[in-house]
C-alpha cells in the first residue's frame, strides 16, 4: 500500500479563533470540508456548539468530525482546540479500472464515473428480462443518480414488495458503491442456478442505487475516486438534509439539496417495504431511531434482522469483522443521535423499514480488499433482501366492486411512530413482523373498517390476509330512481323479483360484511328472480349493472 504525501498526514494542532493554519483554509477552499478531531472532554463541554459538524467516530479519547465552512466559522472565537486529521480518501492511492470489461472479471479496481455509467447500462442491456435501467435524476454537475430495477419480470407490475439498496450518500464511503454493483451482477448471473437468488428475484421488486452522491465521490474529477469528499458539491452532509420526525422539515438549516430532492421524489413515487442505506467508517448495523431515544414499534424485528445480518457477516469473515459494540449491531440513538438522516426519513415519512449498514472501518477501502469484503457481506445482503417477502401480506379490495383499496393497515396495540403500512394503488400490502399474535385493523376513507383478530405470525414465514372492505353505503352515488329499477318484495322472504324498463346486464349481491353471495352475468333481460330461501336473515346489497349505469340497492331478507 502506497501512502500519499506524508505532509498531509502531519497532525496540525490549531486553535480556531486564534491562529488558523493555512492548511485548514486550503482544505476548506479546495475540498469544501475538513476532517478534524477534538478531545473528548472538550466535546462534552461544548456539545451544542458542535451541532454543525458531522460526527464520525470516537477513538482514543478524541472525537472525529467532518466540518464545512459554516461549521468552522460557528466555533470561531470559541476556545476549542481542533486538530486536522489525515484525509480518509487520501490514505491510499486507489487504483482505477483500466476498462469496463475488466470490472466484472477482476473486481480489483474502482470504476471511473463514465465506466460506472456504462456498467449500469450494460447490466440492463445484457439482461433485459431481469434488469431495467432508471435515471432517478440529474445533478447540476451533469452527473446522474442511477438505479437498476431487478426481478423476474421488471416490465410488469406484479405487486411484489419493493426493496431498495442505496449506497455512498457520503461520497468518500465507497465500499457499498462497489459491493452493490457486484450484488447486481451476482443476482443477474445466478438467477438460474441459485435457489435463494431465484426466490428473491421472483418475489421482490429490487431497486439498487450504488452511488447516491456522485459529486462527492468524484470530487477531484470523473477519472478517480482519490480525494473523494463526504459532502456533496455544496459541501452539505446529505445524511442531515432530510425531513426529521423530531426536528422538522429542515433540521440542518439548509434547503433540500438536489440529491435529497431526487430521493424524496423517488421515495414518493415508490412504495418501499424495506431498504438499507450503506456507509463505511465503522463495521456495524444501525437500526432506528437515530433522532430520538424511543424504541421503534418493531424493536424485536429490528434486532432480529440486525443480528442475522451481523452474525452472518461474522461467520463469513475473519474474526473481528462487524463486531462493533460486541454484537455488530446497535440502536442508532444509543450510538449517537442524528437529525435529518435518511433512515429515519424513510421509516417515519414512508412507512418503510430502513436500517444503516456500516460496511468497513476504512471509508475508501483499497481496491485489493474489495473482493474480501464482498465475500464477508453478500450472504447477509441476500438474507436481508429475502426478509421483504415475509410477514403479513395480502390485498385489500372493495367488497362490492372488487376494485383495489388504498387502505391503512394497522397492528392494534403495537404500531407507533408510523410503523403502520398502507396498501399500494393495486391494493397490495406487505407488513414485515416479528413472531407473535396480532390484531390487524384495515381502514380507508369511505369504507367500514375491519379488524382481523389473532393473526399468528412467525419469523421467516408468510401470512396471507386478503381483506374486503364494505363501502359506507352513503358514500356511494346511489341512483334513487324507482323508474329505473323495481325490487319486489322488500323485505324479501324466499324470492325477489328485480325488474327494469331497460335490459339488465349483471347482478351481484353481497352480505353485510361484504361477502359475495350471488352473481349473474350477461342477463340481458328486463327482469330476473333471485331465490333467497337459503340465505340467512339480514341486510344485503345488490349491485345492478345496466349497459352504462350502476344502481345499488339494499334489501332485507327475512
Helix (H) or strand (E) holding 56: strand 54-59
- Report the nearest approach of Zn ion to the CB of residue 210 (Å): 15
* Distance (Å, whole) CA 117 – CA 347: 29
In 3D space, the residue among 57, 277, 312 whose CA is nearest the CA of residue 164 turns out to be 277
| DSSP H helices in 32-167 | 40-45, 69-74, 100-106, 113-126
- Report the nearest approach of Zn ion to the CB of residue 381 (Å): 17
Residues 515-544 that bind Zn ion (CB under 5 A): none
Kindly indicate which of the ranges 119-127, 209-217, 276-284, 345-353 contains the residues binding Zn ion, using the contact rule CB under 5 A. 276-284
- Report the nearest approach of Zn ion to the CB of residue 54 (Å): 8
Q: Which residue has the cell 458503491?
A: 177
- Report the nearest approach of Zn ion to the CB of residue 5 (Å): 25
Residue 11 CB neighbour total at 10 angstroms: 9
Nearer to Zn ion, 381 or 444 (CB): 381
CA 350 to chain centre: 8
| DSSP H helices in 270-368 | 299-315, 332-335, 342-350
In 3D space, the residue among 39, 43, 44 whose CA is nearest the CA of residue 62 turns out to be 39
Q: Which residue has the cell 454484537?
A: 327
Binding string, 162-191, against Zn ion, x = CB under 5 A?
Answer: --------x--x------------------
Using Cβ positions, the residue closest to Zn ion within the complex turns out to be 279
- Report the nearest approach of Zn ion to the CB of residue 402 (Å): 47
- Report the nearest approach of Zn ion to the CB of residue 399 (Å): 48
- Report the nearest approach of Zn ion to the CB of residue 216 (Å): 10
Q: Which residue has the cell 352475468?
A: 521
Helix (H) or strand (E) holding 197: helix 195-203
Rounded to 10°, the helix 370-387/175-189 angle is: 60
* Distance (Å, whole) CA 471 – CA 403: 11
Nearer to Zn ion, 31 or 170 (CB): 170
- Could you list the beta-strand ranges (E) of 118-240: 131-138, 144-150, 162-167, 205-209
Q: How far is CA 54 from CA 36, 37, 250, 333, in A?
A: 10, 11, 16, 15
Nearer to Zn ion, 280 or 505 (CB): 280
SS3 83: strand
- Report the nearest approach of Zn ion to the CB of residue 378 (Å): 20
Query: Cell numbers of 52, please?
Result: 454543525
Nearer to Zn ion, 279 or 342 (CB): 279
Kindly indicate which of the ranges 93-101, 106-114, 271-279, 528-536 contains the residues binding Zn ion, using the contact rule CB under 5 A. 271-279
Q: Does 324 contact Zn ion by CB under 5 A?
A: no
Nearer to Zn ion, 342 or 408 (CB): 342
Rounded to 10°, the helix 342-350/258-269 angle is: 30
- Report the nearest approach of Zn ion to the CB of residue 137 (Å): 21
CA 358 to chain centre: 16
Residues 442-471 that bind Zn ion (CB under 5 A): none
Kindly indicate which of the ranges 274-282, 297-305, 377-385, 386-394 contains the residues binding Zn ion, using the contact rule CB under 5 A. 274-282
- Report the nearest approach of Zn ion to the CB of residue 172 (Å): 9
Kindly indicate which of the ranges 277-285, 310-318, 410-418, 452-460 contains the residues binding Zn ion, using the contact rule CB under 5 A. 277-285
Nearer to Zn ion, 279 or 351 (CB): 279
Q: Which of 271, 279, 342, 395 binds Zn ion (CB under 5 A)?
A: 279
Nearer to Zn ion, 170 or 450 (CB): 170
Nearer to Zn ion, 279 or 373 (CB): 279
Kindly indicate which of the ranges 35-43, 273-281, 526-534, 547-555 contains the residues binding Zn ion, using the contact rule CB under 5 A. 273-281
Rounded to 10°, the helix 175-189/113-126 angle is: 20
- Report the nearest approach of Zn ion to the CB of residue 237 (Å): 9
For the stretch 493-521, what's the b/e string if a residue is b when 16 or more beta carbons lie within 10 angstroms of its beta carbon?
eeebebebeeebbebbbbbeebeebeeee
Kindly indicate which of the ranges 91-99, 139-147, 178-186, 278-286 contains the residues binding Zn ion, using the contact rule CB under 5 A. 278-286
Nearer to Zn ion, 56 or 386 (CB): 56
Kindly indicate which of the ranges 279-287, 335-343, 437-445, 539-547 contains the residues binding Zn ion, using the contact rule CB under 5 A. 279-287
In 3D space, the residue among 525, 508, 189, 252 whose CA is nearest the CA of residue 378 turns out to be 189
Kindly indicate which of the ranges 275-283, 434-442, 471-479, 485-493 contains the residues binding Zn ion, using the contact rule CB under 5 A. 275-283
Binding footprint of Zn ion, residue count (CB under 5 A): 3
Nearer to Zn ion, 279 or 408 (CB): 279
CA angle, residues 150, 156, 159, in degrees to nearest 5: 85
- Report the nearest approach of Zn ion to the CB of residue 328 (Å): 17
- Report the nearest approach of Zn ion to the CB of residue 278 (Å): 9
| DSSP H helices in 32-93 | 40-45, 69-74
Query: Cell numbers of 410, please?
Result: 394497522
- Report the nearest approach of Zn ion to the CB of residue 217 (Å): 12
Nearer to Zn ion, 231 or 438 (CB): 231
CA dihedral 379, 381, 384, 385 (to 10 degrees): -110
Nearer to Zn ion, 284 or 485 (CB): 284
How would you classify residue 142: left for phi > 0, otherwise alpha for psi between -120 and 50, otherwise beta?
Answer: left
Nearer to Zn ion, 122 or 279 (CB): 279
* Distance (Å, whole) CA 42 – CA 50: 10
* Distance (Å, whole) CA 172 – CA 211: 11
Nearer to Zn ion, 239 or 397 (CB): 239
Give the residues lining the site for Zn ion (CB under 5 A): 170, 173, 279
Amino acid at each position: 500500500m502506497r501512502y500519499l504525501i506524508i505532509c498531509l498526514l502531519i497532525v496540525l494542532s490549531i486553535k480556531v479563533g486564534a491562529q488558523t493554519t493555512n492548511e485548514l483554509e486550503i482544505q476548506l477552499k479546495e475540498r469544501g470540508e475538513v476532517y478534524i478531531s477534538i478531545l473528548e472532554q472538550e466535546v462534552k463541554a461544548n456539545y451544542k456548539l458542535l451541532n454543525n459538524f458531522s460526527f464520525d467516530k470516537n477513538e482514543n479519547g478524541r472525537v472525529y468530525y467532518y466540518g464545512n465552512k459554516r461549521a468552522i466559522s460557528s466555533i470561531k472565537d470559541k476556545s476549542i482546540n481542533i486538530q486536522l486529521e489525515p484525509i480518509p480518501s487520501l490514505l491510499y492511492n486507489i487504483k482505477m479500472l483500466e476498462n469496463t470489461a475488466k470490472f466484472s472479471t477482476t473486481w480489483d479496481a474502482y470504476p471511473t464515473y463514465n465506466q460506472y455509467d456504462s456498467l449500469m447500462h450494460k447490466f440492463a442491456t445484457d439482461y433485459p428480462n431481469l434488469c431495467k435501467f432508471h435515471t432517478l435524476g440529474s445533478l447540476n454537475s451533469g452527473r446522474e443518480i442511477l438505479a437498476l430495477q431487478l426481478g423476474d419480470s421488471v416490465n410488469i407490475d406484479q405487486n411484489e414488495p419493493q426493496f431498495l439498496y442505496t449506497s455512498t450518500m457520503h461520497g468518500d464511503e465507497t465500499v457499498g458503491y462497489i459491493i452493490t454493483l457486484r450484488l447486481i451482477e451476482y443476482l443477474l448471473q445466478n438467477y438460474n442456478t441459485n435457489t435463494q437468488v431465484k426466490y428473491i428475484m421472483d418475489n421482490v421488486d429490487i431497486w439498487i442505487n450504488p452511488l447516491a452522491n456522485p459529486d462527492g465521490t468524484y470530487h477531484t474529477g470523473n477519472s478517480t475516486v482519490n480525494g473523494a469528499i463526504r459532502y456533496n458539491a455544496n459541501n452539505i452532509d446529505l445524511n442531515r438534509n432530510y425531513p426529521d420526525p423530531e426536528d422538522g422539515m429542515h433540521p440542518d438549516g439548509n434547503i433540500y439539496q438536489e440529491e435529497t430532492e431526487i430521493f424524496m421524489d423517488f421515495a414518493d413515487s415508490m412504495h418501499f417495504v424495506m431498504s438499507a442505506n450503506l456507509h463505511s467508517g465503522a463495521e456495524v448495523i444501525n437500526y432506528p431511531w437515530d433522532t430520538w431515544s424511543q424504541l421503534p414499534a418493531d424493536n424485536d424485528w429490528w434486532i432480529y434482522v440486525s443480528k442475522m445480518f451481523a452474525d452472518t457477516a461474522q461467520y463469513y469473515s475473519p474474526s473481528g469483522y462487524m463486531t462493533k459494540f460486541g454484537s455488530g449491531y446497535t440502536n442508532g440513538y444509543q450510538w449517537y443521535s442524528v437529525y435529518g438522516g435518511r433512515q429515519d426519513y424513510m421509516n417515519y415519512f414512508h412507512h418503510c423499514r430502513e436500517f444503516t449498514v456500516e460496511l468497513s472501518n476504512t471509508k475508501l477501502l483499497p481496491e485489493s480488499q474489495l473482493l474480501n469484503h464482498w465475500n464477508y457481506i453478500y450472504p447477509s445482503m441476500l438474507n436481508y433482501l429475502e426478509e421483504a417477502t415475509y410477514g403479513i401480506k395480502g390485498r385489500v379490495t372493495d367488497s362490492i366492486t372488487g376494485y383495489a383499496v388504498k387502505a391503512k393497515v394497522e397492528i392494534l396495540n403495537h404500531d407507533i411512530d408510523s410503523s403502520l403500512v398502507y396498501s399500494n394503488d393495486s391494493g397490495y400490502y406487505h407488513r414485515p413482523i416479528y413472531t407473535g399474535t396480532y390484531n390487524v385493523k384495515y381502514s380507508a376513507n369511505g369504507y367500514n373498517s375491519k379488524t382481523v383478530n389473532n393473526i399468528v405470525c412467525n419469523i421467516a414465514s408468510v401470512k396471507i390476509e386478503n381483506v374486503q372492505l364494505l363501502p359506507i353505503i352513503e358514500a356511494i352515488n346511489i341512483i334513487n330512481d324507482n323508474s329505473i329499477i323495481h325490487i319486489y318484495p322488500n323485505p324479501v322472504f324466499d324470492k325477489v323479483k328485480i325488474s327494469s324498463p331497460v335490459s339488465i346486464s349483471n347482478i351481484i349481491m353481497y352480505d353485510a360484511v361484504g361477502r359475495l353471495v350471488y352473481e349473474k352475468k350477461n342477463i340481458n333481460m328486463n327482469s330476473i328472480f333471485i331465490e333467497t330461501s337459503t340465505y340467512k336473515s339480514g341486510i344485503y346489497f345488490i349491485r345492478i349493472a345496466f349497459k352504462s349505469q350502476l344502481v345499488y340497492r339494499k334489501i332485507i331478507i327475512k
